Amino acid sequence: MKTMKNNYFLTTIALMALMISCTDDFTEINEKPDALAASDVSAKFFVTNAQTGLFAPNRYPYWRGPIIHADRYAGHTAFGYKSNWWDDGLGYNYSAGYTSAVHDAWFASYNSTLSAFTNFVKEGGTLENDKYYAIALIMKGLYYQYYTDAFGMVPMSEASNPDIVTPKYDTQLEIYSTLVSDLDQAISLIGNDTTTGSGVDQLAENDLFFNGDLQAWKQMANSLKLRLGLRAQGAPGETFSSSAVSSAVTGGVLGDRDALLPRDLEISTWVSAVYGDVWGPFYGGGNWHLAKTLVDALRDNNDPRLAKYAKPSKGGTIQWAKPTEGERVGLFDKHIAYMTGILDSSGATYTKTSDGAGGYTITMPENTNYIGQPTRLNGKIKPLLDRKLWSEPSEVVVNQHNSGKPIFPFVVMTAAESHFMVAEAITKGLANGDAQGHYQTAIRHAMNLWGVSSADADNYIATEGMALLNGSTDQNLEKIATQRWIALFTNGYEAWSVVRDTGYPTELSAGVTDGDIFVLGDTNGVYPQRHRYGSGPYNTNGAQVEQANSVQGPDKQATKLWWAN
């Protein structure tokens, strides 16, 4: 796929043209018939960077953000197998270097990309265009929702003012309410228009989400507003959530379109990374397994996405040798009981026999069982975590750049999530309609996205209790949240937010308590609630960071966000 590469090139040319247009030499250059004039430049050349910069950063923050932190907090993946560089405590103990890579090199720095685009297209800007400004406002909503839900209070209202070098940190109440207003403005600016203009101003392939379809952008704005409204509902001081939810639903969310970021198959990992850029070169530190909570939710409900998300365990012969010294000697029986319990609860086919030296030999059929690795397992139990026990992610998830193989796109906002949220709004009494109808439509969309056939989706809905909203309000909300969380696989940050907001799946949100088996970490076993700030803000804007900490709570991973359950 060369589109993304070409768009980066065109963006560079566009920036050059804009700079030239501001110099005394422009007239002379413009007299040359082959010169690129400012009139040849369109805002469309900046859309691709705005999209990829937010959702597809380079390998440095990508490894340290989604892979080491969010995907694992979300309960979608787990580290810490026997030959891994780390146990699964990585990320549950604060690392200044890793956190700074996520905050400073990705989230905070993206503001300059967004601000440049916005300044070009806003009223009075060099490339003034109200339709592109609407897109900029929607990208702002996606960005700050992503950013604030990871860290809490962040600079927004003063962040793009070049005259303010130490911007204040806005509360999440202020951020959420502003974003809802911005989305309303964007929706109004788009109106019934379908394109951004004609000629050089017409957005098409540079828009990696919708190929320039403004009505799809409008629907995504409503879906995002619905996400914000539902998440803010009941949080201290908010007064906008009910109207945001109702107006989003009536305005029309993404009903049958998905905002996906396609993965460029050739671009450098130092421009835009994929899972395979870590999975392929770094066996000991870059490989992981599907987590127990996710695999259980799929397998135990006969979900046809299981084989799309995961591979069956490799199986074969696994040795659980009894240690002869150290703390693990006294814990061995406890660890064996725990591990055997995991295999049994997964319905795995296996045999366990004595090895004659106090340990055990596990014999498991190859490529048969789907077994997820529990999250947060510590170094004490790590020697028992043979890779052949656990399900790895499917090839389409971890294929590498330049391999010639397909790579699953990044999930930004989908029709599935939109219908799940509408079902939630109806179940909570915030909107009218058929909650189960939207819920089942969401399941169909979620399965279709992963290549599940219509027949298999129909069979799931016809035969599985998980496909019916037939319980109490709380039970129905749990099903909706769990299915939404499943559908967000590969977007760990948003899946993590679903757990923190709803409390589901409870296996994750309950945290852990047994230090003989699990890493309690800096949160003392509590489920992680946020990223800590990077070192950059403390070095350059320390007083404002401390002011934020005094409002929202200590800069710790266990400090709950404004909207958290």
Q: What is the pLDDT of residues 287-328, one digit of tens each?
A: 899 999 999 999 999 999 999 999 999 999 999 999 999 999
> pTM for this structure?
0.93
**Predicted local confidence at residue 6, as pLDDT:** 52
CA 279/CA 295 separation, integer angstroms: 20
Check if the beta carbon of residue 459 is closer than 8 Å to that of residue 262: no
The pLDDT of 535-558, averaged and rounded, is 97
Q: Which helix (H) or strand (E) holds 156?
A: none
Of 13-22, 163-172, 182-191, 215-224, least confident by mean pLDDT is 13-22
CA 53/CA 58 separation, integer angstroms: 9
Q: How many CB atoms lie within 10 A of CB 515?
A: 12
**Predicted local confidence at residue 241, as pLDDT:** 98
Structure confidence at residue 265 as a pLDDT band (50, 70, 90): confident
Q: Which helix (H) or strand (E) holds 461?
A: helix 454-463
Structure confidence at residue 25 as a pLDDT band (50, 70, 90): very low
Amino acid at position 523, single letter: T
CA 97/CA 80 separation, integer angstroms: 20
- CA distances (Å), origin 513, targets 292, 294, 296: 17, 20, 21
State the greatest distance between any 2 C-alpha atoms of the chain, in Å, as a whole number: 88
Of 124-138, 167-181, 203-217, 254-268, least confident by mean pLDDT is 254-268
- List pLDDT tens digits, range 504-525: 999 999 999 999 999 999 999 9
- List pLDDT tens digits, range 98-143: 999 999 999 999 999 999 999 999 999 999 999 999 999 999 999 9
- List pLDDT tens digits, range 463-488: 999 999 999 999 999 999 999 999 99
* Tokens 């198959």 belong to residue: 265
Half-sphere exposure of 266 (CA within 13 A, CB side): 7
Burial of 285 (0-12, 13-18, 19+ CB in 10 A): middle
- List pLDDT tens digits, range 455-464: 999 999 999 9
The pLDDT of 163-184, averaged and rounded, is 98
Q: How many CB atoms lie within 10 A of CB 34?
A: 5
> Any residues with CB less than 8 A from the CB of 320 and at least 6 apart, and which?
336, 339, 355, 359, 360, 361, 362, 384
**Predicted local confidence at residue 12, as pLDDT:** 45
> 270 is written with which tokens?
């130092």
Burial of 482 (0-12, 13-18, 19+ CB in 10 A): buried
CA 115/CA 93 separation, integer angstroms: 34
